[in-house]
Structure 1
Amino acid sequence: MARIQVVDGKNLLVEEMPVEIVERKGRGHPDSLCDGAAEELSVALCKFYREKVGRILHHNVDKAVLVGGSSEADFGGGRVIAPIQIYIVGRATLEWDGSQIDPEELFHDSIVQWLCRQVRHLKPEHLQLNFKVRRGSVDLQRIFYDEDKPPLANDTSFAVGFAPLSELERLVLETERFLNSEEGKQRFPQLGEDIKVMGVRDGDLIRLTIAAAFVSSLTPDRETYESVKEQIARFVEEEFAPKFTKRRVEVFVNTADTPDSAYLTVTGTSAEAGDDGQVGRGNRASGLITPYRPMTLEAVAGKNPVSHVGKVYSIMTQIIAQRIVDKVPEARQVYCYMVSQIGKPITDPQVVSVEIWGVPAAKVENEVKAVVDEVLGSWKQIRDGFVERRWQIY
């Protein structure tokens, strides 16, 4: 049985810290595109293995890099000169029972289509997608199985989850989501999908710095560009932010602009013009980058959803923290840490440490342990949730 430790929180609540910093990279950001492409390949492999073999086979395709292209964008139009190159690197089961597969041949087109859906003005000819997927380690394949008993951990790794989100975290997350939503695009059609929101709370003053790629063909002149920037800042400050906080909010949009330059793109992503990307450099499983919270450098995207604890535990710890907050009304903040040992069942981590604020740990220890046991026991649902794209992983 896993050792479950429940302790009182000792540091300040995030909401009480004098300064808080939160970042979110939107769906068209080069790092997000790398995360998504790697995860799409993992999901495609899982579905293919289940269809052909009846179970998921070993794979980890969690390395991807984006090499930015080049373009010429100006008010009213532009063109992509050199394509964006994306390399997906990893290991997978490529042969079994006399059968062989070529992931590039099978899944190239579907991942290109996925990328184009993320960035609505991106076209297949703007992309060069390359696969460098080799056979997996014999040792790891030997301990891998997808059956009705808990799988063995694919790695010695840890994850951490937290709940609830602070006001700043919710504001940053929801601001990017809105600007990239259908409603957001109807309100501000000139916006592309490469939107990054950096939130800084200094005492009770919140500053949001939004870097938003504009689509050049939908932005006829500088006057339109500046007007839309002002509209975005005013909307977020006056209409959107008050839904999440009573603190004063200041919004800044595309602060690197000069009289001679503007953030214009042909497609809506900076990846077209020299900005690069990589798996694991973007949002964590919380959907955010949160330096004032405990974090792991583990990338979630692309890892196998059966036994790679860097992926499975990243979601389990988030679920545990949220369920504790939901079940213990007095809990003001919860952190959950979990670490595995390679070759041991994923349901038997070395330790699960839960830190809780707002209520004495001893008072709710049994309730917290029951939540942990419940989530560890739901490993099949966690696994299937990845294949069904139910979990936010970046």
Structure 2
Amino acid sequence: MNKVGIISYGVSLPKKRLAVEEIIELWQNSSLDLIKNKQGVKERGVLGFDEDCNTFSVAAAKEAFKQNGNAKEIGALYYGTCTNPYDSRPSSTIVQEALDMDYTTKCVDVQFSTKSGTTAMINAMAMVGSGISDKAMAIGVDTINRHTAPGDLLEPYASSGACAVVLGTEEVIATIDGIESYSFDLSDGFRVEGERYIRSGMLLGSAKNEVGLYANTVKAGQNLMKKLGSKPEDYKYAVFQQNTPRTSYGIAGKLGFTKEQVAPSIYADAIGDTGSASAMIGLAKVLDVAKPGDKILVVSYGFGAGADAIALTVTDAINQIRGKAKTIQSLVENKTMVDYKTAIKSEYKYIRHSYPLNAYL
């Protein structure tokens, strides 16, 4: 059996964008210099009135199918998110139906952390590697902006987006060489039952990153490289969780990677934090420009859930899918700027009655 790997990928990003100046000017709760120059975020994505995790997921999957394959070939669908539109209903079956996948498709929701996308990818890999499914799709998606309260210190970064990857053993554009995870319990982010907005169990700042994001991602990355007998200089590209660009560069520095290895994956400066899709979109952006033989290290992070590390090698088949779907850079550049009041309105954050007409209608 051939090595399991990615055979196609697709991304969907919000078209509406909000300048971080709009948020800071209103709330006066942070420094514009901190957000734009130190964290590196200039704009964040804004949800449309009819957009949620499922609409982004379907759009990303359709982009993946433009490169290779079709919905009927998918034997398993893993859907990773921490912002499912429903509290007690799966989204994987909704996406399955919208894409017209076969009713025998094995559908699984992987929920509750911002590494759910890479966890979905690892599970999809296992389904293909075991021979249960010839092809499996993994989706990483989140609408962090819908679940971040107005005035929250993370509001300038909160965004949304999706990445879908199809895994198989034929026509593979990037083989998966190894995986590793490192996890321990930590309340650095959570959303309790009945609450809409994500909360932090810790103060913001470098200390929070040290005990959570850095502690997990560094261990996962180091352990995988040790397992594979590789070192940072063996990789052409490194892709890390990017709540902000500074987050990625911070992880890179601690793992021994250079800025040049990370820069091609960066998109959060113009989009913001896409949660469970974060590392996967960074990987897709790298695959847009990668050449056969290039090695890629991906490390994601999920609050309270730890980190996943995945090593890949690009194959000659990458040239066969070039130009068939939208590039990630073109999606980043395709935008419409909106003001703050429009962003709050379209994300349904203004308080209003559940039944605006009367007691019965």
TM tier, smaller: under 0.3
Q: Which has the higher strand share?
A: 1
TM-score (norm 1): 0.23
Does 1 or 2 have the higher relative contact order (CA < 8 Å, sep 6+)?
A: 1
Structure whose alpha-carbon radius of gyration is higher: 1
